[in-house]
């Protein structure tokens, strides 16, 4: 870890705990800052706050009192999930207090080079693929960021022999200033999180922050399947390395079933260890990063062939009496579910869908769900998802929750069928996050097998 003194004796407010806030608070304390933590959860139900208090860090819990900002803080580090419309953040910005996320702290202390991955879909799979390939090549890819390991925690022990492979959300990237990866990947850009950002343009602007400090010595890997990416490629100082499944590009591409990098075959698309056209795109992005980091083709091929996927992203769960169960709970938008369905024969799929209604245009799903054996629909968005099912001519049943949906889907299935949880919606109408939703699906499948 780099020793830096820019926070020494500075008053810093950490807003919101969870994993990233807790990690940021400890790091700032270690760096000599005078830290105050503010979290909305009551103290008696807040193990993280209790632990920090025992370590001598000031904690204020049970709400976000605006008068707290009457103190002269030099900096606020916010949990990425807290929107900028939060009154505490609005007041901090009005007072001229910089508002960062812990990703910025990770960059400032990291001795390891950083590969940053963002995008609307495929972030977690691509991040994991890159981490595994770099580790296989002896470059020790350390996963961090939005993938579940706080970046500021992982960066503390990373050395210059490691590579920090960071999954970055738009929420995290809104709070960076000096963040500077050597390689950045934008997997794709689709309208999502509009409820947080206010517009697609603002969402793209947040994602685009990943390359703000990059120079011609750095590499920006972009998905040239999208015209938007081609347009953005003209607006960066970084050296652009494209990938595409639709055309031959000066980077990574698919041609005649083979994955190439700059004219050289790396592996066959059929050799990728996980199904789906979206995973071909993820593999191409991974190949681009790996080749830029000097990894040989054999290592890339062996690692991607053995790749088993990511939990909650088209994760094979189990098979019961010839019925296969796949957990794709991480599909929180329409594009992700479209890509999940592309890997299956619709006539054998019972799709579980529905969740938080964010105003998605479910009519976009009609061509993709046409021909499904059946759907099981639940959640706040159920009525709108049903209208799409009606237009597609797909029969459906209602469910009260994920456990109920899983049981009903199994009852509808016969040998050779697939039960696919791919909700096309966020989980927050019923569950704390997509992980909880996916774990309940997994647990219910286990109960069905007993």
Question: What mean pLDDT comes out for the span 260-283?
Answer: 94
- Is 371 labeled as ligand-binding? no
Of the residues 306, 341, 373, the one at which a domain ends = 306
What's the domain count of the chain?
3
Pair (292, 361) in one structural domain: no
Is residue 338 situated within a structural domain? yes
- Is 119 labeled as ligand-binding? yes
pLDDT in tens, 358-413: 878 899 999 999 999 999 999 999 999 999 999 999 999 999 999 999 999 999 99
pLDDT in tens, 7-56: 999 999 999 998 889 999 999 999 999 999 999 999 999 999 999 999 99
Question: What mean pLDDT comes out for the span 169-185?
Answer: 94
- Is 120 labeled as ligand-binding? yes
What's the pLDDT band for 64 if we cut at 50, 70, 90? Answer: very high
Residue with tokens 């993938």: 147
> Which domain, by its residues, includes 113?
103-306
What's the pLDDT band for 288 if we cut at 50, 70, 90? Answer: very high
**Cα distances (Å, whole numbers) of residue 343 to 133, 142, 368:** 24, 29, 11
Q: What does pLDDT average to over the chain?
A: 95
Is residue 139 situated within a structural domain? yes
Please state, in angstroms and rounded to a whole number, the distance separating the CA atoms of residues 13 and 35: 6
Question: What mean pLDDT comes out for the span 200-205?
Answer: 94
pLDDT at 19: 86
Pair (284, 372) in one structural domain: no
Pair (113, 208) in one structural domain: yes
Query: Structure pTM?
Result: 0.79
pLDDT at 192: 80
Is residue 5 situated within a structural domain? no
CATH number for position 38: 3.40.50.720
Please state, in angstroms and rounded to a whole number, the distance separating the CA atoms of residues 291 and 265: 12
Pair (110, 246) in one structural domain: yes
Of the residues 70, 100, 130, the one at which a domain ends = 100
**Cα distances (Å, whole numbers) of residue 329 to 170, 352, 439:** 20, 10, 9
Q: How far is CA 320 from the centre of its chain?
A: 30
- Is 215 labeled as ligand-binding? no
What's the pLDDT band for 81 if we cut at 50, 70, 90? Answer: confident
Is residue 4 situated within a structural domain? no
Main-chain dihedrals φ then ψ at residue 255, nearest 5 degrees: -150, 125
Of the residues 306, 332, 364, the one at which a domain ends = 306
Is residue 1 situated within a structural domain? no
Is residue 6 situated within a structural domain? no
CATH number for position 289: 3.40.1190.10
What's the pLDDT band for 278 if we cut at 50, 70, 90? Answer: confident
pLDDT at 314: 85
- Is 126 labeled as ligand-binding? no
Pair (144, 271) in one structural domain: yes
Q: Is pLDDT above 90 for 193? A: no
């Amino acid at each position: 870890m780099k020793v830096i003194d820019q926070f020494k004796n500075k008053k810093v407010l950490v807003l919101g705990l969870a994993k990233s806030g807790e990690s940021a608070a400890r790091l700032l304390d270690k760096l000599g800052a005078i830290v105050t933590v503010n979290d909305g959860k009551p103290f008696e139900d807040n193990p993280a706050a209790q632990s920090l208090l025992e370590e001598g860090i000031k904690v204020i819990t049970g709400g976000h009192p605006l008068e707290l900002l009457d103190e002269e803080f030099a900096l606020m580090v916010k949990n990425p999930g807290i929107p900028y419309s939060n009154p505490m953040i609005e007041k901090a910005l009005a007072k001229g207090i910089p508002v960062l996320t812990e990703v910025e702290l990770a960059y400032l202390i990291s001795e390891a080079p950083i590969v940053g991955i963002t995008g609307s879909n495929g972030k977690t799979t691509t991040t994991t693929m890159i981490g595994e390939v770099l580790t296989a090549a002896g470059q020790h890819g350390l996963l961090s960021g939005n993938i579940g390991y706080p970046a500021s925690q992982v960066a503390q022990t990373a050395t210059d022999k490691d590579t920090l492979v960071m999954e970055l959300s738009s929420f995290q990237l809104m709070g960076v200033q000096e963040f500077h990866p050597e390689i950045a990947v934008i997997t794709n850009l689709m309208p999502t999180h509009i409820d947080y950002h206010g517009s697609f343009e603002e969402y793209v602007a947040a994602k685009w922050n990943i390359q703000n400090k990059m120079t011609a010595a750095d590499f920006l890997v972009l998905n040239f399947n999208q015209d938007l990416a081609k347009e953005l490629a003209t607006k960066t100082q970084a050296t652009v390395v494209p990938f595409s499944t639709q055309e031959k590009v000066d980077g990574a591409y698919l041609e005649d079933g083979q994955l190439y990098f700059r004219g050289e075959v790396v592996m066959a698309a059929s050799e990728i260890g996980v199904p789906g056209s979206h995973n071909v795109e993820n593999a191409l992005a991974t190949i681009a990063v790996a080749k830029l980091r000097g990894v040989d083709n054999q290592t890339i091929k062996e690692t991607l062939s053995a790749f088993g996927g990511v939990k909650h992203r088209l994760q094979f769960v189990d098979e019961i009496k010839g019925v296969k169960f796949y957990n794709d709970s991480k599909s929180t938008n329409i594009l992700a579910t479209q890509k999940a369905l592309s890997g299956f024969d619709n006539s054998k799929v019972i799709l579980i869908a529905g969740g938080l209604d964010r105003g998605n245009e479910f009519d976009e799903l009609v061509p993709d769900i046409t021909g499904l054996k059946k759907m099981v629909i639940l959640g706040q968005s159920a009525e709108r998802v049903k209208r799409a099912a009606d237009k597609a001519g797909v029969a459906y049943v209602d469910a009260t929750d994920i456990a109920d949906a899983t049981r009903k889907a199994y009852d509808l299935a016969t040998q050779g069928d697939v039960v696919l949880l791919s909700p096309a919606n966020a989980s927050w109408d019923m569950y704390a996050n997509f992980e909880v939703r996916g774990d309940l699906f997994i647990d219910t499948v286990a109960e069905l097998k007993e």
